Structure 1
Amino acid sequence: MSALTDTFTLSNGVEIPQVGFGTWQIPDGSETYDSVRVALDAGYRHIDTAAAYGNEASVGRAVRDSGVPREEIFITTKLKAEIKDADGARRAFDGSEAALDLGVIDLYLIHAPWPWTDMGSDHRAGNIEVWKVFEELYGEGRVRSIGVSNFVVPDLESLVSATEIIPHADQIRWFIGHTQDDTTAWCREHGVLVEGYSPLATGRLLEDDRLVAIAEKYGVSVAQLSIRYLLEHGVLPLPKSVTPERIRANGELDFEIAPDDVAALDELSNTVD
């Protein structure tokens, strides 16, 4: 087994490969298609996309063309953050399902608790309305698991207080120096898997001398150290790259960080953001 094929188990028993390949900011067309094909060839079995990324069709085509059996690949996509009504959510899901053309979607997420153009605004009622559609989709077997993204504790508490199913996952920005401790603790307490996007802080960690020194001890890159750090905390990392060498290297995580070095990295918490 390897880091790319080892799995976490969601609260409903569904297994999810513990490293995902992220496709945020990768343009639709050849860039997305080629990147996903490289990732699958390198052994990744979890691909993360979103309606807002505009690249679902290319992700789906790459998966279909890869030669890897569909049941071996875990596919995540997301409802656009602006959609906060039931009818809109149903139409959007149909659109994502058609664009991917991969059958049952493995994980479907609300992309954010508020529209990106109005971050922090109150859409609790809309999130509850949308979540009830997610529960329908789950009950109908059109998705294998459902979750949220960018939700913090008040968002999560509002949602679970008015609905039936606790989210199976919460995908949040999570990296060395920005570990969202309150949200992470809430998720652990309620059996919600934390997924971490931007595990390299969109590249800002790579030149940090403190991380360089620790990475050298293990003969790995700062990127590999930073991604592995999430796994040491039981958080699912979603590294992203369009460079084949980096895609492959980001999945080479079969080492462990010693507890004292994990503690040293923990001490950097909230100093990098």
Structure 2
Amino acid sequence: MTLQPNSYVVLNDGHKMPVLGFGTYAPPTYTKEQAEESTKVAIEVGYRHINCSFMYGNEVQVGRGINSKIADGTVKREDIFHTGKLWNNSHSPERVRPALERSLRDLQLDYLDLFLIHTPLECKPGDDLFPIDENGKTIYHHTDIRETWKAMEVCKDAGLVRSIGVSNFNCRQLELILNMPGLKYKPVCDQVECHIYLPQSKLLEFCKSHDIVLVSYGVLGSSRAENWIDQDAPRLLEDPVLNAVAKKVNRTPAQVAERHLLQKGIVVLAKSFSPERIKENFQVFDFELSEEDMKALDGINKKLRYLDMNVWKEHPEFPFHDEY
């Protein structure tokens, strides 16, 4: 498969998404200013796809990073593909556009390239990220996700965003949107946890059959600094099969983990706050994994999720009870 630093996938609405993106979420151990600096480094080394979210709490800093690289002539706005996300407390149709407009103000951008429903798990509308009651229980709210989607379509028609999609949706939840009466725009993508321990093969097959791109996060495993990550989970980058393939092709385990998904037609998001690693993680276009290597990596599947969202498991729209 011929992949180059400027390779992209064509979305079902005609827009183009770079196949390798830079993730900007940071655990609490990092400062928001580090998100700004790492975004600058990412653009300097070649990333043109930047993935962010209101929930990350660093849209102001990521926006500064992007705009500084536009100001110094490194890139033009049209060179950047920026993804934002609608958080769980803004699913009510009347809250969708204001949430998007807030992100645009914080980012200092005129439009987003992609706006996603971050999860299908709606909580009570308000300013709190995770509103809880006096017993410490999450306060659930329920808006028909199809109503949220209609409001997303309005934002696209208004020119505030070029493409719209979802994140952390299972097959059933995707079908609910795909089969809704009066559907104007299909989701262009589903952004989900996906890596050698959780290859998402069935969801990938479903998405491909509906011209929906699968976008992968957690490709390199996850930092143990995050309190919703299973601390006892095996470290992906230490996997012996992955390391054997990496040694064979003279690449880092991270580069091989990324390339494996890219060759399957999956868009990859890589995250790091180390300038050296940011550069290293972008160097995945000058080698190719053999069919033998791909099969070896395909065989690792542990059906393991690093992201522990069980705090939401009683929510009627919890996506991970289903197989895919």
User: TM-score if structure 2 supplies the norm length?
Assistant: 0.79
What aligned pairs does 1:204-215 form with structure 2 within 5 A after superposition?
A: 204-215=235-246
Deviations 1:145-177 (A, max 9, x none): 000000010110112222332100110000002
Following TM superposition, by how much is the alpha carbon of 1:272 offset from its aligned partner in structure 2, in angstroms? 5.4
Other-structure match for 2:320: none
Rg comparison, structure with higher value: 2
Q: Which residue of 2 aligns with 1:101?
A: 108
Q: Which runs of 5+ in 2 are unaligned?
A: 124-129, 131-136, 224-234, 306-324
- For this pair of structures, how many residues does the alignment match? 271
Match of 1:187 among 207, 214, 225: 207
Match of 1:232 in 2: 263
Of all paired residues, the percent bearing the same amino acid is: 36
How big is each residue's C-alpha offset from its partner over 1:83-130, in whole Å with a ceiling of 9 and x where there is no partner?
2201111211110111111211100000001148699x895x432111
Separation of aligned partners in 2, 1:106 and 1:240: 19
Please list, as runs of the form range in 1=range in 2, the aligned pairs for 1:1-273 lying within 5 A after superposition: 3-25=4-26, 29-66=32-69, 67=73, 68-115=75-122, 123=142, 125-162=143-180, 163-202=183-222, 204-254=235-285, 255-270=287-302, 273=305
Query: What is the Cα deviation at residue 30 of structure 1?
Result: 1.6
Separation in 1, partners of 2:141, 2:20: 32
After TM superposition, the structure 1 stretch with the greater mean CA deviation from structure 2, 1-10 or 242-251, is 1-10
Query: Which letter does structure 2 place at the counterpart of 1:135?
Result: E
- The aligned amino acid for 2:272 is S
CA distance in 1, matches of 2:146, 2:304: 34
What one-letter code is carried by the residue in structure 1 that aligns with 2:104?
A: E
* Preserved CA contact (<8 Å) 2:53 2:84: yes
Which AA in structure 2 matches 1:106?
D
What is the one-letter code of the residue matched to 1:206? Answer: L
Call closer, same or farther: CA 1:216–1:72 in 2, change over 3 Å.
same
**Alignment TM-score, normalising by the size of structure 1:** 0.93
Answer 1 or 2: which has greater helix percent.
1
Superposition RMSD in Å: 2.0
Partner of 2:317: none
Deviations 1:120-147 (A, max 9, x none): x895x43211111110111122111000
